[in-house]
Chains A and B, each alone.
Chain A
Amino acid sequence: MATALPTLRRNWLVTMRAYQWTYFVGTLATGILTVGLAYLAFHAIGGGRAGGGFAAAAGTADYLGYVTVGAAASMFTVRMVLWVAKAQITEQREGTLESQVLAPARRLPYLVGVGLQALTTTVVEVVVMLAFAIMIGVRLPAPDPVTLLAAFVAASVAVFGISVPLSAIMISVGEAHITQNTLFVAMGLLCGFTFPPAYLPDPLRWLGEALPVTSALRALRAATLDHAPLSVAAPDLLLCLALGLAYLAVGLRLLGPAERIAIQRGGSA
């Protein structure tokens, strides 16, 4: 924690100084629009009922609840990935990558510090988005608190895990936007944020299962929509954790060589 907490503090100071509160309006827009548009479509087009196959594919007939949890998870994932995966390339762009790499501090606690700061910011954003959903009439059943907490932890590990190899890719190619947006598009298609992956062809479903966010999302929905006990969600939680930690291990292995490529290339990204 000798590096994580100072990095958390540093990022808080920088964030408070760099961004005005209006910046967060933009970050909330995607989640709010997703829920708002789903609400309109559900009532104006669907007449307040989901299609016949939805319940079978999604495991629930509560379309708005399904979309709201998915939108919250999507917002959480995207915001966390943006903070953690872009931490190193931001250092590169600001000219501090070399001074950071030069220090004996390890990368994992540094990224944990970035992740902890991102977590606090992102949780607030997600809570605001959920408050909007409730305000427009979406009703979520009372979740199982233990399963929800476990799913939240597993989802955090999963998102943190996939952010680290993404960070390595970003600094080694010196580019962030194409890299991050490719991942976001893939996750939006494969992970089941707004529609059940059961609608996808088998190869795409298998691909989606390789991303830990898919199993994290199933566990989150089990906790919030089905009030599932921990034992029911455990297989998804374990899969999510295993995949997240595997991505993390690969990412940490890649970061050192990626940093050297970035320093070798020199200049800013």
Chain B
Amino acid sequence: MIVTHELRKSFPAQRKLFRPAGPATDAVDGLSLSIPPGAVTGLLGLNGAGKTTTIKVLATLLRPTSGSVTVDGLDVVDHAREIRRRINLIAGGERMVYARLTGRENLWYFGQLYDVPRAVLGTRIDELLELVGLTDAAGTLVERYSRGMRQRLSIARGLINAPAYLLLDEPTLGLDAPIARDLRAVVANLARDGVGVLLTSHYLAEVEQLCGHVYVVDHGRLVAEGSPTALTAGTRLPHTVELTLAEHAPAVSAAVAALGAEFEVGVDTEERPTFLLRSPEDLAGELATAVVRAGGAIVRLEVNPPTLEDAILAMAGTPTSVAAR
């Protein structure tokens, strides 16, 4: 298991000639989290929340300013080399591979850097190329790859050492939808096979789909954690129910008001009456029953539960899409 305890990472201010240096910046400020094997754990926050810095510390690329980080009980500072054998990092964007090598040569070289046994390296390279859909382009120089192809090769590079823990920093950035979907399937399978995965992504539907547990950070601090469902419920953001009637029915407004929820009345583009209801609970059933009993003829009923994105934005103090609806 990867465990951080009170992790803090500060960056000293840039010194300028003839000007005093400013205060240090705390990119990560007292973060404690656990990434178990065999599960996908999410790390979410807005830009500048400290996600990438956290991942770089976990990956041994940066050292913590204070606090501790252990991987299977090994400290990231004292046992960096041993930890590097057990982990890998896939970051969004097409870099991290050599442009003047072919896809196969890149994987061969990184396999050597990870000391992958010669007996398994060839097979593993073939499997990874197949996995990311680059078998036909294996002999092509990476400089001729599209952005998506480079990112797919970068994913294969991240799996070359069969890591016990995989750190994914925006892994589907720039990928076409089918490839991103395939990658999500790969990540889910890896977790099923016992790999511990830490995922950051701006595509929150991806996080909701994959992660059993999510940490939410803001300005380097942990502000919430839990399952995506629990996080969304915990914010008490309203469900919205949009209802359209075939024609005006005088008793309906009173029936809706009797439900005790906040609502707005309007008309749609065809001049039909509409109701927009907001409530911490899903009142769609009660609303439909009340409207029908009041003589209303429902032509459309749409329920919008709060999403993880709404919850994250609410935790970060940003007006949510729900509030805007």
* Residue B203 lies at the interface, judged by CB distance under 8 Å to chain A: no
| Contact B96–A95 (Cβ < 8 Å) | yes
Chain A residues lying within 8 Å of B110, measured Cβ to Cβ, are 99, 103
**Which residues of B are in contact with A by a Cβ distance under 8 Å?**
11, 56, 59-63, 81-82, 84-85, 88-89, 91, 93, 95-101, 105, 108-110, 112-115, 141, 157, 161
When A17-B141, A94-B95 are in contact, do A264 and B101 touch as well, CB less than 8 Å?
no
| Contact B59–A14 (Cβ < 8 Å) | no
Out of A7, A17, A18, A102, which one reaches B89, CB within 8 Å?
A102
| Contact A14–B97 (Cβ < 8 Å) | no
**Nearest 7 pairs of A and B residues by beta carbon:** A95-B95, A6-B112, A103-B113, A104-B84, A99-B96, A105-B113, A14-B100
Within 8 A of B (CB), among A1-46: 2-3, 6-7, 9-10, 13-14, 17-18
Chain B residues lying within 8 Å of A121, measured Cβ to Cβ, are none
Out of B11, B96, B109, which one reaches A98, CB within 8 Å?
B96
B165 to chain A, nearest CB (A): 12
Chain A residues lying within 8 Å of B82, measured Cβ to Cβ, are 104
* Residue A260 lies at the interface, judged by CB distance under 8 Å to chain B: yes
| Contact A14–B113 (Cβ < 8 Å) | no
Chain B residues lying within 8 Å of A10, measured Cβ to Cβ, are 98, 101, 105, 109
**Which residues of A are in contact with B by a Cβ distance under 8 Å?**
2-3, 6-7, 9-10, 13-14, 17-18, 94-96, 98-106, 260, 263-264
| Contact A14–B101 (Cβ < 8 Å) | yes
Specify the main secondary structure of chain A where it touches its partner: helix
Chain B residues lying within 8 Å of A13, measured Cβ to Cβ, are 100-101, 105
| Contact A105–B95 (Cβ < 8 Å) | no
| Contact A105–B101 (Cβ < 8 Å) | no
Measured in the bound complex, the distance between the Cα atoms of B99 and A10 in whole Å is 12
Measured in the bound complex, the distance between the Cα atoms of B108 and A185 in whole Å is 40
| Contact A102–B97 (Cβ < 8 Å) | no
| Contact B115–A18 (Cβ < 8 Å) | no
| Contact B101–A99 (Cβ < 8 Å) | no
Chain A residues lying within 8 Å of B56, measured Cβ to Cβ, are 263
CB-defined A-B contacts under 8 Å, sample of 8:
A6-B113, A96-B95, A99-B96, A101-B61, A104-B84, A104-B85, A105-B114, A263-B56
A186 to chain B, nearest CB (A): 24
